[in-house]
């Protein structure tokens, strides 16, 4: 049975494992379990920062997605940044990612958010196709970052 629910502090270790997989696949990041656990705790421990959803298959967490909360002055509404979407590799293509995105989108709509924005590697064609099927469209904007 597949079920999506809000993550709790009991999920931090498993989510950190999933993030290790994600950051091993991305160009700009490398896994650091301590940092990932700290970041997960900052969201789970402070719901005003965001929310993490996990997808369980027969009681075991096999995927996760996080929405971080911000405001769009353009829309005059809350906005969310979709971060850390990951499905355990052996469970990909079985509907877990779609369930996570649908759950996160329904949550955002119910809570009055006006937009969800996400970033993915420009050459991750599988992810780009997946997000496109979920209704996400490319932006003409360029991402810039300053590490502090």
The residue whose two tokens read 């809570």 is 111
Asked whether 62 and 88 are in contact (CB, 8 A), the reply is yes
Which residues lie below 8 Å from residue 78, measured CB to CB, with a gap of 6+? 69, 70, 71, 72, 111, 112, 113, 114
pLDDT at 28: 82
Which tokens sit at 99? Answer: 């369930």
* Cα separation, 107 vs 111, whole angstroms: 6
Domains present along the chain, CATH in parentheses: 2-133 (3.40.630.30)
- Write down the pTM of the prediction: 0.95
* Cα separation, 115 vs 109, whole angstroms: 9
Rounded to the nearest angstrom, the gap between the alpha carbon of residue 100 and the centroid of all alpha carbons in its chain is 8
- Per-run averaged pLDDT (10 residues), the chain, 148 residues: 96 98 88 96 97 97 98 97 97 96 98 96 92 95 91
Total H helices, total E strands in the chain = 4, 5
In the sheet with 60-72, reading across from the earlier edge strand, the strands are 2-6, 50-57, 60-72, 77-87, 113-118
Give tens-digit pLDDT for 63-104. Answer: 999 999 999 999 999 999 999 999 999 999 999 999 999 999
pLDDT at 29: 86
Give the residue ranges of DSSP H helices in the chain: 12-25, 33-44, 96-110, 125-133
């Amino acid at each position: 049975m597949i079920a999506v629910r809000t993550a709790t502090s009991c999920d931090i270790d498993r989510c950190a494992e999933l993030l290790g997989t994600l950051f091993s696949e991305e160009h700009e990041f490398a896994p650091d379990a301590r940092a990932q656990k700290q970041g997960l705790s900052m969201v789970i421990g402070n719901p005003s920062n965001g929310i993490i959803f996990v997808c369980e298959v027969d009681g075991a967490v096999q995927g996760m997605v996080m929405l971080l909360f911000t405001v769009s002055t353009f829309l005059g509404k809350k906005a969310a940044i979709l971060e850390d979407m990951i499905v355990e590799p052996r469970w990909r293509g079985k509907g877990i990612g779609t369930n996570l995105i649908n759950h996160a989108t329904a949550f955002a709509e119910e809570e009055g958010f006006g937009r969800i924005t996400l970033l993915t590697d420009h050459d991750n064609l599988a992810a780009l196709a997946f997000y496109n099927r979920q209704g996400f469209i490319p932006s003409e904007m360029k991402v810039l970052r300053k590490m502090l």
